[in-house]
Structure 1
Amino acid sequence: MDTPASAPRSDTARVAGELRVALAALARRLREQAEGTDLTRSQSSVLLRLEREGPATATALARAEGVRPQSMAKIVQVLDAAGLVSGAPDPKDGRKTVLSLTEAAREEFRTGRLAKEDWLTKALETGLSGDEIEALGAVAPLLMRLAQSP
């Protein structure tokens, strides 16, 4: 890994500000492409966590999301009523319930992602040159590193 850049602080802060604004605008546009979702950010975040990390108890989800167990219970209740999560007894402790994504939730993830990628592909093809698309491709791994930094 290369050593951190030694750009002047003011240049780094300017780039940080420009990136924040640009990425927020892009995220908003991508969210617009997923039709028909009435989920809150908290509900969406729980679904994404279950997709990434697998089944979990409501207590574990509350801890991971930084919310009170009572708040998580309400989130889970809404997701269950929408048919997006299901619960099963914990094999290690039958008093607990392990929550998992339903097939309906997995299908919504698939179709939502496809809609977002389709829009982004069209936006790239119609709004940028081949060289610009290639430059963005080179930047994507850097953005991922930034997203994963502490």
Structure 2
Amino acid sequence: MNDEANRPRIERASALAAELRAILGKLKRKLREHGGRSDLAPSQVSVLLRLEKDGPAAVSSLARAEGMRPQSMSAIITSLLESGLVSGSPDPNDGRQTLMSLSRECQKFLKEGRAARQDWLTTTIQEKLSVQDQEKLAAVLELLARLVED
């Protein structure tokens, strides 16, 4: 197919992409509203999620993983320490370093936030979508999963 014949397909895909991004952005904001503590910066959230996923880590390792300078990561960690969301303990393999990990308060915060978002979304789906619409949503989710497959 030449470019001119393909143009309607490209324009349709572009319009779908724009609409999908807009809708997902709204959904993300709604989930954030219903998930609790929203006063954290995106960089702080990213560090907390990395610690949750990968486990305790030194500030220098976190900086490398997040693609930032150690000084910038130190500022983020300091604010998280002050908020009681992370704690530090000596690295058993290198006593000169401190391993940062999630505090119990943070683990509870993450768990409760996820539960609140899940509850809100479950209730919203039940209230706004018929059984048939829920089946359509299930089919759409399969398509979305295909979009992000590697």
TM-score by length of 2: 0.86
Alignment check: 8 A CA contact 2:32 2:38 kept:
no
Q: Are residues 55 and 141 of structure 1, via their aligned partners in 2, closer, same or farther at CA, if it must alter by over 3 Å?
A: farther
What residue number does 1:23 align with? 24
Identical residues among aligned pairs (%)? 47
Q: Are residues 22 and 102 of structure 1, via their aligned partners in 2, closer, same or farther at CA, if it must alter by over 3 Å?
A: same
Secondary structure of residue in 2 paired with 1:14? helix
CA deviation string 1:29-60 (max 9, x = no partner):
00001233421111111101111121111111
What residue number does 1:76 align with? 77
Letter in 2 for 1:99: M
Q: Are residues 73 and 141 of structure 1, via their aligned partners in 2, closer, same or farther at CA, if it must alter by over 3 Å?
A: farther
Q: Give the RMSD, CA atoms, in angstroms.
A: 2.0
What residue number does 2:55 align with? 54
Report how far residue 13 of structure 1 moved: 1.4
Q: Are residues 144 and 76 of structure 1, via their aligned partners in 2, closer, same or farther at CA, if it must alter by over 3 Å?
A: farther
In the alignment, structure 1 residue 103 sits paired with structure 2 residue 70: no
What residue number does 2:3 align with? none
Secondary structure of residue in 1 paired with 2:25? helix
Which stretches in structure 1 are left out of the alignment for 5+ residues? 1-5
Secondary structure of residue in 1 paired with 2:87? strand
**CA radius of gyration, larger in:** 2
Alignment check: 8 A CA contact 2:59 2:74 kept:
yes
How many matched pairs?
A: 144
Which stretches in structure 2 are left out of the alignment for 5+ residues? 1-5
Letter in 1 for 2:58: T
Q: Are residues 12 and 144 of structure 1, via their aligned partners in 2, closer, same or farther at CA, if it must alter by over 3 Å?
A: same
Q: How do residues 108-147 of structure 1 correspond to structure 2 at under 5 angstroms?
A: 108-147=109-148
CA distance in 2, matches of 1:43, 1:138: 34
